[in-house]
């Protein structure tokens, strides 16, 4: 089912899945659960995603996983402070949220020395409906 919002219909079977690996990140940032929660929440808000719930787990002796349930789908962070690395996964359905922007904002906050970012277009191509 789709709903006409005046721009593009909502509920279309389409989305963007952004996968990123950042390396050369300050290990202290990657082990700071509150910083990662706050940074992810801010990045998602700024990218027009709707955060429904967020959970996090800090591991011993180091490492943090943060998961965000979004109205549009999900986002996750998995850190490896001992290696200065993080996996980032942001998937949003529809055309409203901007998952590439969320990953960009996360990278700006984490300041990696190297990054590998890929976007996978999922579902159907409705690009002709979006101006």
CA–CA gap between residue 91 and residue 15 (Å, rounded): 7
List the catalytic residue out of 17, 47, 73, 85: 73
For the question of residue 78 being annotated catalytic, the response is: yes
Asked whether the CA dihedral 3, 4, 5, 11 is positive or negative, the reply is: positive
| Sheet containing 64-70, strands listed edge to edge, beginning at the edge strand earlier in sequence | 51-58, 64-70, 73-80, 85-93, 14-23, 114-123
List the catalytic residue out of 41, 42, 74, 78: 78
For the question of residue 73 being annotated catalytic, the response is: yes
List the catalytic residue out of 17, 47, 93, 95: 93
Helix or strand or coil: residue 93?
A: strand
Q: Peptide bond before 62: cis, by omega within 30 degrees of 0? A: no
Task: Enumerate the active-site residues.
Answer: 73, 78, 93
């Amino acid at each position: 089912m789709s709903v006409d919002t005046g721009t593009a219909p909502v509920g279309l079977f389409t989305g963007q899945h952004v996968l990123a690996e950042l390396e050369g990140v300050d290990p202290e940032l990657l082990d700071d659960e509150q910083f990662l929660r706050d940074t992810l929440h801010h990045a998602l808000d700024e990218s027009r995603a709707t955060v429904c719930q967020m959970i996090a787990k800090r591991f011993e002796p180091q490492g943090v996983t943060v998961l965000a349930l979004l109205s549009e789908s999900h986002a996750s962070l998995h850190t490896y402070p001992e290696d200065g690395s993080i996996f980032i996964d942001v998937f949003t359905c529809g055309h409203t949220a901007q998952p590439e922007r969320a990953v960009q904002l996360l990278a700006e906050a984490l300041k990696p020395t190297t990054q590998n970012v890929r976007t996978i277009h999922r579902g159907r191509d409705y690009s002709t409906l979006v101006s």
